[in-house]
Amino acid sequence: MNFESCKADTYKSRGKSTTKVKPERTRKLKDQRLKEKEIASALGVTERMVFRYLEGTV
């Protein structure tokens, strides 16, 4: 692999992370007694992301 073409001044980060949905929406659906799997399906995210939203880590 040729690393000579990689220069420090040309690196661009992936940018700021974004969320698909607002975590508050996840909490509202949970308060309506929906299961995590149902919430994930309704919001179009993975079940793991639902758990992260509910934990407050995202």
* Amino acid letter, residue 38: E
- pLDDT of the residue at 19: 76
**Residue 58 contacts by C-beta under 8 Å, 6 or more apart in sequence?**
19, 23, 49, 52
- pLDDT of the residue at 2: 57
Task: Give the whole-angstrom CA distance, residue 15 versus residue 44.
Answer: 22
pTM: predicted TM-score of the whole model, two decimal places: 0.66
Per-residue pLDDT of the chain (58 residues; tens, 9 = 90+): 555 555 556 777 666 667 778 889 999 999 999 999 999 999 999 999 999 999 988 7
- Give the residue from 7, 4, 55, 6 showing the smallest Cα distance to 27: 55
Task: Give the whole-angstrom CA distance, residue 1 versus residue 11.
Answer: 17
- pLDDT of the residue at 53: 93
